[in-house]
Structure 1
Amino acid sequence: MTPKTPSRQEKVAALKHEQSVAQRKRKIGIAAAWSAVLVLVVVVVLVITTSGTPKNASASTATPSAIAGVQTFPKQTAQHVTGTVAYAPLPPVGGDHSVTLLNCGVYSENVPNENAVHSLEHGAVWITYDASTITGDQLATLRKAIPSTYAILSPFVGLPTSVVASAWGAQLDLTDPADPRLAAFIAAYRGAATAPEPGSPCTGGLDGPGKVS
């Protein structure tokens, strides 16, 4: 039996079906491509917005204005210089500083001001304490309060009080390491936009004397 030859109408219908299938495939391909582009854009945005953000930052919503006792020192200079710098206040909260930053971490000895100020420029907080009064459990409390990045803890000679928390352009005097304002200060100023270069490295510089961690 001779196979039936498709009529012109059947040929046209088959052609339209093929074109419809091809069109659907093109639409699916375009949609998939746009989905991939959208995912890539989201990834790039996330990388940009999170890069340079200090890790292990506190989830506190504390703001500088909400922390009682914080003193601010606006319009700090930020030039790289050699030699020592006469800072005011002490501990320093900004100003000209060494080209080499102090690696963030916990120190058991005094660290160079000029290097520590460079770390403040990058958004670090610097917690200093009077080693003659802060010992034992109080020192242990302080060390536990220090985040693993973008924070420095060190003794400091001649403090006006037992503990002083410093950031670029801001400072808080404390008498008790367990004062909740310390955690609030760290949360508000660590990596904050008040620093000239927040998120720039806090490693790869100088280890000061007596580095513990």
Structure 2
Amino acid sequence: MSISTPGGPERRPTVVSTGKKPAAGRPAAADKPAGGKAGAGKGTTSRPGAGGKGRKPIAPVKVSQGRSWGPIALFVAVGVLAAGIIGYGAYAAIQGSKPWEKRVDAIKGVVDYRKKDKDLVVGGKHEQGPIKYDILPPVAGPHNDAWQNCMGDVYDAPIANEHAVHSLEHGTVWITYRPDLPADQVAKLKDRVQGKEKMMLSPFDGLDKPISLQAWGYQLKVDNADDSRIDEFIKTLRVNASVEGPNAVCSQGITATGTAPRDLGGNQMPQQPTQ
């Protein structure tokens, strides 16, 4: 309704809010949003194609599936392996730097006759004929002028102790075994000896263990050819145990088998190099 005032334009009445809520279900005319259904303007996101700028698409949230333990376990395993290799290398370097006399002491089961009987291990005692040995197989003591050939020789029958002991004096490792040792075990011993200078192999009757190793003044007895101490004994004492120096020869010795010594005499054997 318009109200006229004298001399002036019509004025619309001012709507004064009374604070009362409109009747239920009938919104006040002034509260209706312009040009659309109620609620059409709610929010700030416009519909696509409505001509307004909408919000940027929200990136999808990645849901964690937990730790991947496979790569972690592999990394740890590689680390442990590397640490083990480095540790073993350091240990081997330390062990290798020790004098061979210290290294042989670390081989379990080795009997050191150099400590037990110093007179026994004095070299250069040459005698003719059969010699009685208290330790069998012998590891030192008097011996024949002629040595047993020890250029990686594999003997299929017993050899004379008197010649074998002379070979020990030159730095040889002499491996002996019971004649009834299984063939596969003998083959493993042959592999360690054949073609290697200052090594020899032969059967030996009456052994109290299947296998016995001798170097000048040292002995190790084991039960089978798979024992790792065999390799340690060879590595430590071959050449090192010589009392005539590393240049003592092993060639041109006795190659025959049989337990009776052959008295060839010193003049028939090659001369040892001067130390």
Q: TM-score range by the shorter chain?
A: 0.5 to 0.7
* Alpha-carbon shift at residue 109 of structure 1 (Å): 0.3
1:60-139 alignment runs, 5 A limit: 61=96, 63-74=103-114, 75=118, 76-78=121-123, 79-104=125-150, 105-132=153-180, 134-139=181-186
Query: Contact 1:123–1:189 at 8 Å: present in 2 too?
Result: yes
Equivalent in 183, 188, 193 of residue 146 of structure 1: 193
Query: Contact 1:112–1:208 at 8 Å: present in 2 too?
Result: no
* Alpha-carbon shift at residue 118 of structure 1 (Å): 0.5
- Higher relative helix content: 1
Aligned residue for 1:51? none
* Alpha-carbon shift at residue 122 of structure 1 (Å): 0.3
* Counterpart Cα distance in 1 of 2:145 and 2:169: 11
* Alpha-carbon shift at residue 103 of structure 1 (Å): 0.1
Aligned residue for 2:252? 204
Aligned residue for 1:172? 220
Matched, 1:189 2:237: yes
| TM-score for the superposition, normalised by structure 1 | 0.67
* Counterpart Cα distance in 2 of 1:208 and 1:112: 9
Matched, 1:156 2:204: yes
* Alpha-carbon shift at residue 198 of structure 1 (Å): 3.2
* Alpha-carbon shift at residue 88 of structure 1 (Å): 2.1
* Alpha-carbon shift at residue 135 of structure 1 (Å): 2.5
SS of residue paired to 2:126: coil
1:54-65 alignment runs, 5 A limit: 61=96, 63-65=103-105
Q: Which of the pair has the greater relative contact order for Cα pairs under 8 Å at 6+ separation? A: 1
* Counterpart Cα distance in 2 of 1:88 and 1:173: 16
* Alpha-carbon shift at residue 77 of structure 1 (Å): 3.5
* Alpha-carbon shift at residue 196 of structure 1 (Å): 1.1
Aligned residue for 2:49? none
Matched residue type, 1:80: H
* Counterpart Cα distance in 2 of 1:107 and 1:176: 19
* Alpha-carbon shift at residue 65 of structure 1 (Å): 1.3
Gaps of 5+ in 2: 1-94, 259-275
Matched residue type, 1:68: K
* Counterpart Cα distance in 2 of 1:166 and 1:208: 20
Query: Contact 1:93–1:166 at 8 Å: present in 2 too?
Result: yes
Residue identity (%)? 38
| TM-score for the superposition, normalised by structure 2 | 0.52
Gaps of 5+ in 1: 1-59
Matched residue type, 1:209: T
* Counterpart Cα distance in 2 of 1:198 and 1:180: 27
* Counterpart Cα distance in 2 of 1:164 and 1:96: 20
The alignment covers a number of residue pairs equal to: 149
